[in-house]
Structure 1
Amino acid sequence: MTHPWFRGITPPRVLAHRGLVMPEAAAEGIAENSFAAVAAAHSAGAPYVESDCHLTADGVVVLFHDEDLSRVTGDPRRIADVTLTELEQLMAERGGLITLQQALDAFPTVRFNLDVKAEDAAVPVGTAVAPFADRVLVTSFSDDRRRRALDAAAAKGGGIRPATSGGTRTIARVLAAVTARSDRLVARALAGVDALQVPERRGRIRVVTPRLIAAAHRHDVEVHVWTVNAPDDMRRLIGMGVDGIVTDRADIALDALS
């Protein structure tokens, strides 16, 4: 059965990568993964927002990509070493900090694609999203971290589990199975997975191929490609059969793929 995260929205899916920060907003200091960035993606009509989860020193899950604050705020400290209040102050002029709970509450029609970045964030993320599992997809480069979040959501209860996308090991197993032309191994690798979210290439290796897409689709798994910002590339990938595009310019993608 298709997870509710996918239902009611016809592919191609547009996932707003860390929200949406238009050039003029960036010039004013608005940061990715801020409250303003999520609001801008929602305002542009993006049905999905892709974001990242870290845990503050006082145990609050926040939407933030990097492990530390240096790139976004100039502060060298790690997210895990600052409190929620300190982080709110640092982000006040950068579009405003947004916690995971605030995102889920303030944007009830947005479906979130959440990458669990920090080990300590896995259980808090799963616990927080359990009541909203119908509109959350949980992913991580670490399959172990992803599964811990899913287990925490199940333990909290809520009726259904969040959707999920395979981590690095899952993707490697799928690619090996596709190369070996073994549909049995593909099925085993994709067990419990709703989507594969992958780059088009990894170095010299082409990840997204017609064979990969066909193999995923045979097992009712979607393929989403990150991070694609050029309209011609978006259209080319969708033409190959890709189901979704993760992009920094959701506004452009919604226009190009309409």
Structure 2
Amino acid sequence: MTLIYGHRGAKGEAPENTLDGFKQCLAHGVRRCELDLHLSKDGELMVIHDPTLKRTTGRRGKVVERDADELIQYDARHSGPHWKHPCPIPRLAELFEQCDFEHWQLEVKSASRVRAARTVLAIKALAEHHGLTERITVTSGSREVLRALKRLTPELSCGLVAEYAWLDPLKVAKQYDCSLLALKWTLCTPERIAKARQLGLHVSVWTVNEPALMRRLADFGVDSLITDYPGLAVTTLRNA
């Protein structure tokens, strides 16, 4: 059975990477999610995709230039579907406290060696505090982040985010002791999926929003789909 992950909560249905979006995902009975993390100026894990604030909040500047207490005042519904009330940028801690997901894919974008180390150690500490270490996989397309995970937090499950065909995602995933391969759907072939599963990798494919594509990838044997429309995915795969 193909599992469903809500992409940035439910990006096609509610403002991305917001508490309302993750609650929307849960309302469909989808208890797995994918989200993006950046550190605030004072070292807190903030749930936002871009390193800059402009696209989702309309504000100028970078996430790393603001303290968490300031960032949570910003309304993150600037892009995406209409939403009737403000949706602040959340701390990851807030989501851990309020959303009962059975599994979390936490994506960390590219980072310097120092920032990668700070980020993975912050994830480890927060996961341990909330008793969620066994329910998260930290994913990244950054070698620096994957190196930091392997070196500093080997107890955390990790995954490679693979977007381009010029690298061998299976080779890279095994090099960094990954348990999950987050594969862009355009790189998805039955042969690659079969080989990945032989290597013990969970194959999670993104971003899958069309019913016909959902059914095709499920037929290929992917372990999970990451989608902007978790409600549509539930309906599609239930009727497949």
Counterparts of 2:95 and 2:51, CA distance in 1: 20
Structural mapping, 1:142-221, within 5 Å: 142-149=142-149, 151-154=151-154, 161-168=155-162, 172-174=167-169, 189=174, 192-201=177-186, 207-221=187-201
Kindly state the Cα deviation for residue 144 of structure 1 after the two structures are TM-superposed: 2.5
Q: What is the deviation of 1:221?
A: 1.3
Mapped partners of 1:214, 1:67: distance in 2: 35
SS in 2 for 1:114: strand
Task: Work out whether residues 127 and 153 of structure 1, in 8 Å CA contact, stay in contact via their aligned partners in 2.
Answer: no
Aligned-partner residue type, residue 112 of structure 1: W
TM-score w.r.t. length of structure 2 = 0.82
Shift of 1:190: 6.0
2-structure distance, mates of 1:229, 1:75? 29
Q: CA RMSD in A?
A: 2.5
Query: Greater helix share, 1 or 2?
Result: 1
Residues 33 and 51 in structure 1, CA contact (< 8 A), matched pair in contact too: yes
**1:167 to partner: Cα distance:** 4.4
Letter in 2 for 1:173: D
Size of the aligned set, in residue pairs, is: 221
CA contact (8 A) 1:187 1:219 kept: no
- Given the superposition, is the C-alpha separation of residues 190 and 12 from structure 1 closer, same or farther in structure 2, using an over 3 Å criterion? farther
Give the match for residue 14 of structure 1: 4
Superposition pairs of residues 1-258 of structure 1, within 5 angstroms: 11-21=1-11, 23=13, 25=14, 31-91=15-75, 94-117=86-109, 119=111, 120=115, 121-130=119-128, 131-149=131-149, 151-154=151-154, 161-168=155-162, 172-174=167-169, 189=174, 192-201=177-186, 207-258=187-238
Instruction: Quickly say closer, same or farther: Cα 1:82–1:45, change in 2 above 3 A.
Output: same
2:206 and 2:226 in contact (8 A); partners too? yes
Q: 1:187 to 1:87 in 2, by over 3 A?
A: closer
User: 1: CA distance between counterparts of 2:47 and 2:110?
Assistant: 11
Q: Distance in 2 between matches of 1:113 and 1:198?
A: 13
In structure 2, the CA distance between the partners of 1:246 and 1:225, relative to structure 1 (3 Å rule), is same
Matched AA of 2:199: H
Displacement of 1:125 in angstroms is 2.1
Q: Quick one: distance in 1 between partners of 2:182 and 2:172? A: 17
State the Cα distance separating 1:87 from its structure 2 match.
Answer: 1.1
> Following the alignment from structure 2 to structure 1, what is the Cα–Cα distance between the partners of residues 110 and 12?
28
Query: Which runs of at least 4 in structure 1 moved beyond 6 Å after TM superposition?
Result: none
Instruction: Evaluate the alpha carbon distance shift between residue 174 and residue 72 of structure 1 in structure 2; reply closer, same or farther with a 3 A threshold.
Output: closer
Give 1:42 shift. 1.3
* Mapped partners of 1:60, 1:174: distance in 2: 30
Q: Quick one: distance in 1 between partners of 2:150 and 2:27? A: 29
Relative distance call for 1:188 and 1:17 in structure 2 (3 A) is closer
TM-score, reference length from structure 1:
0.77
In the alignment, the residues of structure 1 paired with residue 161 and residue 4 of structure 2 have an alpha-carbon distance, to the nearest angstrom, of 20
Residues 128 and 170 of structure 1: is their aligned pair in 2 closer, same or farther, counting only changes over 3 Å? farther
Please list the CA deviations of residues 53-95 of structure 1 after superposition, one character each: whole Å capped at 9, or x if unmatched. 1011111101110010100111121000111122111128532
How far 1:193 sits from its partner (Å)? 1.8
Name the larger-Rg structure. 1
Comparing 52-61 with 98-107, which one deviates more in the overlay?
98-107
